[in-house]
């Protein structure tokens, strides 16, 4: 059996169906073919050169594709169908909370009153938009237990940066600027990056054998030159930091603040509040927890919640409610300034507001419970096929390693690529860094048991193939448009320009 035929016998949605080859648009068409024809001229023809200055005219276009409208529509529609998206398939990317983006969010964001509203419109004509922002701030305050929320940052990383600048401003005002920020070795890469950008030296706190922050190490590292501890709770292994109260106490006792990376809020929203656990600042990822689109489908939004004592430093304008209505308050003397143009990515606020309102208090909690149930179902179903580096159950995501497969010469990368042939987007790989050969899976609450079972079958079939036919896995994927690429070269020297 050749590779292609063998691959077609694999379980999963990609194993069947039509695979179109699509040439580049420059390779198609035929000279003189057009997409549109205009009526014959009823005025004398004039040479363009007599009307426009020479430097406004372009030279001849070589290799310009000449196609009909249908050719163009088919070309781009087919290309768009090659996109992998949450609307087409399961997306188990750990740490990213790739949940379904409900269409009602999109309907609300497209209401002309929101989508056509100009950011320079005066306050009195902006009451509806300001009310929506004020309400969303309130919902996030309620969910997190923080006192005040700003919606301005454009993503999680910018939220972290904003939080670090707030912490910096507060320490400066105490008259004792500090130099260091502590963070666990399981931290997301944006954590050290933003702390460093805010002017801090980053000091790692090791995790213990259970994947939790090592309390003794934290105690010995925490000192009066440390501005903050930046932790993620639940952490990037999907586990709740059981000692969070003790951890906050240790940091506060030395005059430091606690920053919580709230990217994993999907595991605990509606169940417990980070603000009750000693957290002073945190960010939210609306494009993760609150179902607004990610990445290319974005933009995202990374609101920041703070305790009252940090409110004087928030970015302006601060959106407030007064007797006269909702207002944009720029009179905020200690502000760190603006972090994003206007008010942030407003369209995302409409989507997140709709999501929270349509779920309601109970629905928000049930979403978190469903996320944890789905992750634990995958964890329990695959524990004999893939090595689990930590034994305790997790919340909304689970982390495996390639320890069982490596005996056969099969690595995490091979497992990820083999999943593509089985019709699944690979999970997050090689993160968190503290797990060697990590495979991090976050199913979210959106997925049905049938989808999870298909994914589990595909993972089991990869594990079997790793034992029986490891060489084939090294070549995967073979069914995709682009097969195995040299990852380093593809990232460093991408071919972005078409050359005839």
Ligand X SMILES: *Cc1c(COP(=O)(O)O)cnc(C)c1O
Nearer Cβ to ligand X, position 146 or 466? 146
Single out the residue of 186, 190, 207, 335 in contact with ligand X (rule: CB under 6 A): 190
**Side-by-side strand order, sheet with 257-261:** 148-150, 304-306, 281-283, 257-261, 226-232, 180-184, 201-205
**Which member of 75, 99, 178, 188 binds ligand X (CB under 6 A)?**
188
Helix then strand then coil, % of the chain, to nearest 5: 40, 10, 45
Q: How many residues does the chain have?
A: 500
Report the residue from 184, 293, 300, 347 that binds ligand X according to the rule CB under 6 A. Answer: 300
**Closest by Cα among 211, 252, 103, 263 to 433:** 211
Contact, 226 vs 178, CB < 8 A?
yes
Name the strand (E) or helix (H) holding 183: strand 180-184
Q: 431 near 440, Cβ under 8 Å? A: yes
Residue nearest to ligand X (CB): 156
The DSSP-derived string for 91-132 is --BTTS------HHHHHHHT-HHHHT--TTS-GGG-HHHHHH
Nearest approach, Cβ of 232 to ligand X (angstroms)? 5
Position 351 contacts ligand X (CB under 6 A): no
**To the nearest whole angstrom, how small is the minimum distance from the Cβ of residue 260 to ligand X?**
10
* Binding footprint of ligand X, residue count (CB under 6 A): 13
Shortest Å, Cβ 95 to ligand X? 4
Which of 214, 261, 402, 465 contacts ligand X by CB under 6 A?
261
User: Does the protein bind ligand X through residue 394 (CB under 6 A)?
Assistant: no
Q: Which of 302, 315, 370, 426 binds ligand X (CB under 6 A)?
A: 302
Please report, in angstroms and rounded to a whole number, the separation of the first and last CA atoms in the chain.
37
Beta carbon nearer to ligand X, 285 or 454: 285
- Interface stretch with ligand X, choices 4-12, 43-51, 154-162, 345-353 (CB under 6 A): 154-162
Q: Does 305 help bind ligand X (rule: CB under 6 A)?
A: no
CB-CB contact of 344 with 133 (8 Å): no
User: Is residue 340 a contact residue for ligand X (CB under 6 A)?
Assistant: no
Site string for ligand X, 274-293 (x = CB under 6 A): -----------x--------
Which residue in the set 10, 12, 86, 95 belongs to the binding site for ligand X (CB under 6 A)? 95
Q: How far is the CB of 310 from ligand X (least distance, A)?
A: 20
Site track for ligand X across 109-128, x = CB under 6 A: --------------------
Residue 130 or 154 with smaller CB distance to ligand X: 154
How near is the Cβ of 37 to ligand X at its closest, in Å?
47
Structure tokens at 91: 């997306």
Region of residue 495 (phi > 0: left; psi between -120 and 50: alpha; otherwise: beta): beta
Choose one: 152-160, 204-212, 365-373, 391-399; the region binding ligand X (CB under 6 A): 152-160
In the sheet where 428-429 sits, what is the strand order? 398-401, 438-441, 428-429
Q: CB burial class (10 A; 0-12, 13-18, 19+) of residue 391?
A: exposed
Q: Is 228 exposed, middle or buried (0-12, 13-18, 19+ CB in 10 A)?
A: buried
Query: For binding to ligand X (CB under 6 A), which residues are involved?
Result: 95, 155-157, 188, 190, 232, 236, 261, 263, 285, 300, 302
């Amino acid at each position: 059996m050749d590779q292609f035929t063998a691959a077609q016998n694999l379980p999963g949605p990609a194993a069947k169906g039509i695979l179109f080859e699509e040439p580049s648009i420059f390779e198609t068409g035929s000279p003189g073919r057009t997409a549109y024809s205009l009526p014959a001229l009823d005025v004398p023809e004039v040479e363009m050169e007599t009307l426009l200055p020479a430097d406004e005219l372009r030279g001849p276009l070589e290799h310009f594709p000449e196609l009909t409208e249908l050719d163009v529509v088919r070309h781009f529609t087919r290309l768009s169908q090659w996109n992998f998206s949450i609307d087409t398939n399961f997306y188990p990317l750990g740490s990213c909370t790739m949940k379904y983006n409900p269409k009602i969010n999109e309907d609300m964001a497209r209401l002309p009153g929101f989508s056509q509203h100009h950011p320079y419109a005066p306050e009195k004509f902006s009451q509806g938009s300001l009310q929506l922002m004020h309400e969303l701030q309130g919902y996030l305050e309620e969910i997190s237990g923080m006192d005040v929320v700003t919606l301005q940052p454009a993503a999680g990383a910018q939220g972290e940066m904003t939080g670090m600048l707030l912490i910096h401003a507060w320490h400066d005002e105490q008259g004792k600027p500090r130099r260091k920020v502590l963070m666990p070795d399981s931290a997301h890469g944006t954590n050290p990056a933003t702390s460093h950008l805010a002017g801090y030296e980053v000091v790692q706190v090791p995790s213990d054998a259970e994947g939790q922050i090592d309390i003794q190490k934290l105690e010995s590292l925490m000192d009066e030159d440390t501005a903050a501890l930046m932790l993620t709770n639940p952490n990037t292994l999907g586990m709740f930091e059981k000692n969070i109260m003790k951890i906050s106490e240790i940091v506060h006792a030395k005059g430091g603040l606690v920053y919580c990376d709230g990217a994993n809020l999907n595991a605990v929203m509606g169940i417990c509040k980070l603000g009750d656990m000693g957290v002073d600042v945190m960010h939210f990822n609306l494009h993760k927890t609150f179902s607004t689109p990610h990445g290319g489908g974005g933009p995202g939004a990374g609101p920041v919640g703070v305790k009252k004592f940090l409110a004087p430093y928030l970015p302006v304008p601060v959106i407030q409610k007064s007797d006269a209505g909702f207002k944009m308050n720029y009179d905020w003397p200690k502000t760190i300034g603006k972090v994003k143009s206007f008010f942030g990515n407003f369209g995302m606020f409409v989507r997140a507001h709709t999501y929270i309102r349509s779920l309601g208090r109970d629905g928000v909690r049930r979403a978190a419970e469903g996320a944890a149930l789905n992750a634990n179902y995958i964890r329990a179903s695959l524990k004999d096929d893939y090595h689990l580096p930590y034994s305790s159950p997790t919340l909304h995501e689970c982390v495996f390693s390639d320890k069982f497969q490596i005996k056969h010469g099969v690595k995490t990368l091979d497992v990820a690529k083999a999943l593509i042939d089985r019709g699944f987007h690979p999970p997050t790989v090689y993160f968190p860094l503290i797990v060697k050969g990590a495979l991090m899976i976050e199913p979210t609450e959106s997925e049905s048991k049938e989808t999870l079972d298909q994914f589990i079958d595909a993972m089991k079939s990869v594990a079997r193939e790793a034992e029986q036919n490891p060489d084939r896995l090294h070549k995967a994927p073979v069914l995709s448009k682009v097969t195995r690429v040299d990852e380093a070269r593809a990232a460093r020297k991408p071919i972005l320009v078409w050359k005839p």
